Amino acid sequence: MSSPLPPAIEFIGVDKRFRVKGSSSELLAATQVTFDVAEGEVVSLIGPSGCGKSTLLNLGAGLAPPSAGTVRVAGTLVSGPNPHVAFMLQKDLLMPWRTIARNIEFGLELRGVAAPRRREISAQLLRQCRLEGFGEHYPHQLSGGMRQRAALARTLAVDPLVLLMDEPFSALDAQTKMVLQQDLARTVAEQRKTVLFITHDLSEAVALSDRILVMSERPGTIAAQIRVDLPDRNHPMARRKHPGLTSYVNELMGLLKLDAGAELH
């Protein structure tokens, strides 16, 4: 009998402290954080500003070590930048001097993938991310939504096991955001990617996620976990129309102690 697969990513008893600039004291950003994300699962992290959400993604990507506890990807200890993890931020960070196709190929170049294979992967992702015909354009020639599609294509090009996403759609208008949410959901379903997603948009969290983890004020820890029992996780636009979405949003607002007119910052 084969043993069960380890989680795609897991945090076990994680603390993270930062030295306060110009002082000998330390700031405890996150404490005793324990959770995991199964392969193919989409989990959102929500919580007040400064509670350590982005810090956890940095730890998961191997960009910084935890002060205590462990982070593992596919059962292997994270001790530095991990080739099985890709990071997507609010800013697309496309290189303005490279075409969209060559931006998509950048991570593959760093890994020594041969040029013909890079071009093949880039062309496939341009089609998949609805950017066909724009491969030879430069970033300044694209809209904000198209640039974020290009950033998603670049993230997917290295075929990561885990996608870490830090508010990737927050700077976009509402209509473009919903289209890109649908693109992401389709891609995750087709390629069975694992996603750990930070958002301040509670409706977005419900529309996209299998589970939502609610973090406390700093030092951040996991204060609550909500499993989203709505149909159509692969179709977030349909979820947004589901009458049950409002109940989840209200529950999350209660956990975050938000008034009806408050915004999560």
pLDDT band at 53 (very low <50, low <70, confident <90, very high): very high
**Mean pLDDT computed over 89-102:** 90
| Stretch 175-184: mean pLDDT | 87
Tell me: pLDDT of 58 over 60: yes
pLDDT digits (tens, 9 = 90+) for 30-51: 999 999 999 999 999 999 988 9
The per-residue pLDDT for 258 is 67
For the chain, which domains are there?
1-84+193-260 (3.40.50.300)
Can you tell me the mean pLDDT for 169-190? 86
Residue 142 has pLDDT above 60, yes or no: yes
Summarize the confidence of residues 207-233 as an average pLDDT: 93
For the cut 50, the answer to whether the pLDDT of residue 261 exceeds it is: no
Q: What is the average per-residue pLDDT within 178-194?
A: 87
* 1, pLDDT greater than 60: no
- pLDDT at 260 exceeding the cut of 50: no
Q: Each residue of 115-140: pLDDT tens digit? A: 999 999 999 999 988 899 999 999 99
Position 183 pLDDT exceeds 60: yes
**What is the distance between the alpha carbons of residues 45 and 166, in angstroms, rounded to a whole number?**
9
Confidence label for 201 from pLDDT (cuts 50, 70 and 90):
very high
